[in-house]
Structure 1
Amino acid sequence: MTTKAQSFAMRQMAISSLGASPDRDCFIHVPLVRRSTVHSLALALVWVTLATSGLVVAEPAPVDLLLMGLVVLLPLIGLATITPGIAGYLGLWLAIAGAGFFASIFAADAGRAALHTGVSLYLSLASAVLAGFVIRSPETHTRLILDGYLTAALVATTAAIVGYFDIVAGTAELFTKFGRAAGTFKDPNVFGAFLVAPVIYCLHLIITRPLHRAALPILAATILTLGVLVSFSRGAWINLALAVCVYGCLAILTAGTRAARCRIAGLAGSVILIGATVAFMAMQIDKVADLVEARATLSQSYDVGPEGRFGGQQKALRLVAENPLGIGAQDFAQSYHHEEVHNVYLGMALNAGWLGGGLFLILNALTLVVGFTAITSNSHASRRPLLIVAYAAFAATAFEGIIIDSDHWRHLYIEMALVWGLAHAAGGGETSSGVYRAHAVGREILHP
C-alpha cells in the first residue's frame, strides 16, 4: 500500500518531470493531468486559435471565442503555470481594467464604455494565461504559438494580395478597404501591423537554419513584406523597420562568437535587401507608387488642422489634464472629436484616468525592462533567440502606439504574453521538450 509520504514524493517527481518546481516556480498550483489525448487536443486548439487570429472581419471574431475557451481550459488541465511574476503582470492589467470601469461612469454611453473595458479585460486574462502556457514548456510552446500566428499571417496576406491586385475577379471588394489591402481584417492598419511579428519570426528561422533549409522562410518573409507594403499603413511600415532593427541589433549583440555575429549580420542584410527589392518592384506598379507617395506624407487633410489627427491629440491632452478620473472608453470620439485619439497612451489616460493610463505606460515600460533583462541573462540563453523575436515585435508595436490606438490589438497581447512567459520561465533548457509533443502540431516549414 502506498503511504502518504510515498504519494507526496511521487507527486513531487511528477511535477518536476513537467518542468516546474512546486515550491519555487508555481504561485498557483494547477492540477496535474496525465499526458493524454486531452493535452494533445489542447495543444492543437492553441495552434488553431493562433491560426485563426487573422480572421477578424467581424467582432467577436472566431479567435475571441477560442481564446475564451483557452483561458478556462489551459489552467484546468495543467498546461499553464502562473508564477508570481505573471500574477503581478495580470494584477497590473486588472488594476487598469478597474480604473477603466470606474471611468465608464462619466461616459456619455456608460454601457458602451464598460463593454470596451470588458474586452480589454478579457484580452489581458488571455495574455496572462498564454504567458503561463509558455512557462510550462518555453521553447516548444512558444514555437507552437508562433507557428499558428505565422499561418494566420500567411493566410491573411494571401487574401490581401489576391484582392489588392484583383488576381481573382471580385475579391478586391472582399479584401481591400479604401484602396488599401486589408486581407481578412476590417482595418488595413491592423492588418499591416499584424504581419510584423511573423516577419521577424521568419528572419529568426532564416538566421538559425542551415542555408539549404532557409528557402521557405525567405519566401514567407517576402510574401509578408509585400503584405505590409500594400497595406499602405505608415504605422506598419515604421513598425516593421523598427522591429527588424531591434531584432538585428539584439541578435548580433548576444551572439556568442564573432563568426556568429558576422553570419547574422550578413543574413539579416540579405533579407533586408530582398525586402527592399520586393518594395522596389511593387513600386513599378503605378497604383502602388501613387498611393505610397500619398501615404508617405504627414500633411494630408486628416492629419493636420484642428479636426485632424494632431488636432485631436491636442484636444485629448487638454481633456486628460482636466479629467484625472478619465472620461470613459470611446467617449472621446463620441463627444469631443470625430475619431479616436490615435495614440494608445493618451487614449488609455482618457479611458481609465491618470491611474489607468499611468499603469498602462508602466506596464509597457516594465515589459521592455523585463524582456531586455532576460535577454541579457545567461540563465535564458537557450530560449534567448525566441525571446528576441517576441521582444523586437513588442517594442515596435509599443512604439507604434504613439500614432495609433492599439489597446484592442490581439497580437499586442500575444507579444506581451511571449515576453513575460519566456522571461519568467525557470532558468535552464526546455522543460521536458518531449512531454506534450507540441512539435507534431506545427509544420516543417516553421521549425529550424
Structure 2
Amino acid sequence: MIIYPINKNDTFLKLIAFTISTSAFVLFEPAPYEFIITLVLFVAFFYGYTSYGNKHFWPMTLLVLFIQMNLISSFFVTDVKKGILYFFITCYLIISWIGIAGLSAYFQERLLPYVFNGYMIASVVSVVIGIGAYSQIIPGVDFLLKFDRVQGFFKDPNVFGPFLVPPALYALWKSSILGFYNKKGYAFFSSFLILTTGILLSFSRAAWGHYILAITIYLFIIKKSTSKRLKLMLLLLLIVIPVLIYFVTSTNISDLFFDRLSLQEYDNTRFQNQANAVDNLIRYPFGFGPGQADVMLEISTHSLYVRILYENGLIGFLAFFTFFLICLGRSVIHLIKVPSRMQGYFVIITASLIGILFNSIFIDTMHWRHMWLLLALPFMDIYQEERKK
C-alpha cells in the first residue's frame, strides 16, 4: 500500500536531514547521531511515519535468523563484556535499518533528497575541517589526523574514506543535472572535488578501490547519452590527473602515497590470520560468538566475510549476505524501473553498496552506520506507483 504524507510532515523530513547531517561526527561513542536517530525513529513509530509490507518480510526474517546465530554462538564467547557490547551495537543497527526501511516505505521518493543533502553536508564539513588540520591551516585539531592520514571526526581513516563515497557520487550526479555553469551545479561540483580530496587524504587503499569501483559503475549505469558520458569522464580525468601528479611530486605526500600503495608489513600477517579464522570454522560451525575475533585471533580479521564466518558460522554468514543481496537487488530493480528523475539516487545506492561489498574484503564493515542506511533506502515502491499513474 502506498501512503503519501501530507505537507505538515515536511518538518519531520527536515529533522531526518538534520539527523543525517550529524552522522559524520562519531569520534566519541555513543555519538550524537545515535541519540538523535533513536529519538527520530521513536517519533516515527509513535506517529505512524513508518509503513511495512510484504517486501520487508524476507529481509526481516533473515535478520532475525542472523540475530539467532549471534545468540547461539554466544555460548562460546571468551570475553563476555566485549561480546555483549558488540552484539548490542549490531542489534541497534538492525533496529535502525528496520526504522529507516519503514520511513522509506512511508515517505517514498520524498525521503531521498533530505537524506542525501544531509549526508553531503555532514561529509563536506568534516572533510573541509580535516583538510584544514592536514594543511595546518586550522590549529589545535590534530586529533582529526591519524598517522598523517585524515580521519575527520571518525576514529579510523579506513572508515572515513568510504563514508565519503556516496555523497561524492551524489554531488557529481547533481552537478551533472544542474550544469557545471549553474551556481548550484558549481556548488555541487565543488563539493564533489572536496569529497574526492578527502578520500585521497584518508590514504585508505580500500577506500580508493571503493571509490574507483563505485564511480566506474556510476558512469556506466547512469542514463546519459554516450557523448555526455564521455564529456563527463574527460572532465574527471582532466581534474584527477593533475591532482595525482601533485600527490606524486609533493615531498610531504608522495612518501605516504607510495607507501600506502605498496604491500604493508602487516598484510601477510593479516592474510594468515584470516586463513586461521576460516580453518576454525570446521571445529566451531556456529562460530565463536559476537566480537570474539578481536579477542581470539592475533589481530582483527580486517574482513567482514571472515569475521561473520568466524563469529556466527556459515548459517549466520548466509543469512546476512542473503539479506544484503536482497537490499542490493531492490536498488537494482529501482534504477531500472524508476523514472529518470529518480534513477540517479538508486545508481548511487547500487554503486555504493557494491563498493562496500568490495571494501568488506579488507575491512570489517558490520558497524558502518551509512551501510545500514543505504541498505534501508531501496524499500520504497516508486516504480509501482508510477505504473499506477
Please give the per-residue CA displacement for 1:224-245, whole angstroms capped at 9, x wherever unaligned: 1111111000000000000001
Moved more, 344-353 or 82-91: 82-91
Contact 1:80 1:133 (C-alpha < 8 Å) held by counterparts:
yes
Q: Is 1:245 paired with 2:216?
A: yes
Q: Is 1:373 paired with 2:342?
A: no
What does residue 359 of structure 1 align with? 319
Structure 1, unpaired ranges of 5+: 1-14, 20-31, 433-448
What does residue 402 of structure 1 align with? 361
What is the 5 A alignment of 1:101-250? Answer: 101-171=71-141, 173-213=142-182, 214-250=185-221
Q: How far is 1:329 from its partner?
A: 1.9
In structure 2, the residue corresponding to 1:303 is in which secondary structure?
A: helix
Whole-Å separation in 2 of the counterparts to 1:380 and 1:127: 25
Of residues 25, 39, 50 in structure 2, which corresponds to 1:80?
50
Contact 2:130 2:144 (C-alpha < 8 Å) held by counterparts:
yes
Contact 1:364 1:398 (C-alpha < 8 Å) held by counterparts:
no
What does residue 309 of structure 2 align with? 349
TM-score of the superposition, structure 2-length normalised? Answer: 0.93
Q: How far is 1:417 from its partner?
A: 1.4
Whole-Å separation in 1 of the counterparts to 2:158 and 2:28: 16
Q: How far is 1:426 from its partner?
A: 5.3
Contact 2:69 2:316 (C-alpha < 8 Å) held by counterparts:
yes
Whole-Å separation in 2 of the counterparts to 1:201 and 1:35: 25
1:250 corresponds to which letter in structure 2?
I
1:320 corresponds to which letter in structure 2?
L
Moved more, 138-147 or 232-241: 138-147
Q: Is 1:96 paired with 2:96?
A: no
1:383 and 1:40, CA in 2 relative to 1: closer, same or farther beyond 3 A?
closer
Q: Which has the higher helix share?
A: 2
What is the 5 A alignment of 1:17-56? Answer: 18-19=3-4, 35-36=7-8, 39-56=9-26
TM-score of the superposition, structure 1-length normalised? Answer: 0.81
1:91 corresponds to which letter in structure 2?
T
Contact 1:326 1:350 (C-alpha < 8 Å) held by counterparts:
yes
2:100 corresponds to which letter in structure 1?
L
Whole-Å separation in 2 of the counterparts to 1:205 and 1:430: 26
Q: How far is 1:91 from its partner?
A: 2.5
1:415 and 1:276, CA in 2 relative to 1: closer, same or farther beyond 3 A?
farther
Whole-Å separation in 1 of the counterparts to 2:180 and 2:297: 55
Contact 2:334 2:382 (C-alpha < 8 Å) held by counterparts:
no
1:131 and 1:176, CA in 2 relative to 1: closer, same or farther beyond 3 A?
same
1:273 and 1:430, CA in 2 relative to 1: closer, same or farther beyond 3 A?
farther
Contact 2:130 2:151 (C-alpha < 8 Å) held by counterparts:
yes
Whole-Å separation in 1 of the counterparts to 2:361 and 2:274: 10
Of residues 240, 243, 254 in structure 2, which corresponds to 1:289?
254
Q: How far is 1:272 from its partner?
A: 4.2
Whole-Å separation in 2 of the counterparts to 1:89 and 1:410: 18
Contact 1:81 1:132 (C-alpha < 8 Å) held by counterparts:
yes
Please give the per-residue CA displacement for 1:197-242, whole angstroms capped at 9, x wherever unaligned: 0111011112222342221111111111111111000000000000
Q: How far is 1:148 from its partner?
A: 0.5
Whole-Å separation in 1 of the counterparts to 2:227 and 2:108: 28
Of residues 421, 428, 431 in structure 1, which corresponds to 2:379?
421
1:265 and 1:221, CA in 2 relative to 1: closer, same or farther beyond 3 A?
same
Structure with greater Cα Rg: 1
Q: How far is 1:107 from its partner?
A: 0.7
Contact 1:71 1:125 (C-alpha < 8 Å) held by counterparts:
no
Whole-Å separation in 1 of the counterparts to 2:136 and 2:280: 44
Whole-Å separation in 2 of the counterparts to 1:94 and 1:273: 48
Moved more, 196-205 or 134-143: 134-143
Percent identical: 25
1:180 and 1:233, CA in 2 relative to 1: closer, same or farther beyond 3 A?
same
Of residues 296, 309, 324 in structure 2, which corresponds to 1:335?
296
Contact 2:127 2:194 (C-alpha < 8 Å) held by counterparts:
yes
Structure 2, unpaired ranges of 5+: none
In structure 1, the residue corresponding to 2:280 is in which secondary structure?
A: helix
Q: Is 1:70 paired with 2:29?
A: no
1:399 corresponds to which letter in structure 2?
F
2:155 corresponds to which letter in structure 1?
K
Please give the per-residue CA displacement for 1:359-408, whole angstroms capped at 9, x wherever unaligned: 1122223333332233223x555522211111111110111101110000
Contact 2:124 2:194 (C-alpha < 8 Å) held by counterparts:
yes
2:231 corresponds to which letter in structure 1?
G
Contact 1:222 1:278 (C-alpha < 8 Å) held by counterparts:
no
Runs ≥4 residues deviating over 4 A: 379-382, 429-432
Please give the per-residue CA displacement for 1:311-340, whole angstroms capped at 9, x wherever unaligned: 111111112232111101221221222x21
In structure 1, the residue corresponding to 2:15 is in which secondary structure?
A: helix
In structure 2, the residue corresponding to 1:322 is in which secondary structure?
A: coil
Contact 2:129 2:138 (C-alpha < 8 Å) held by counterparts:
no
Q: Is 1:267 paired with 2:217?
A: no
1:137 and 1:269, CA in 2 relative to 1: closer, same or farther beyond 3 A?
farther
Contact 2:77 2:292 (C-alpha < 8 Å) held by counterparts:
yes
Whole-Å separation in 2 of the counterparts to 1:412 and 1:277: 31
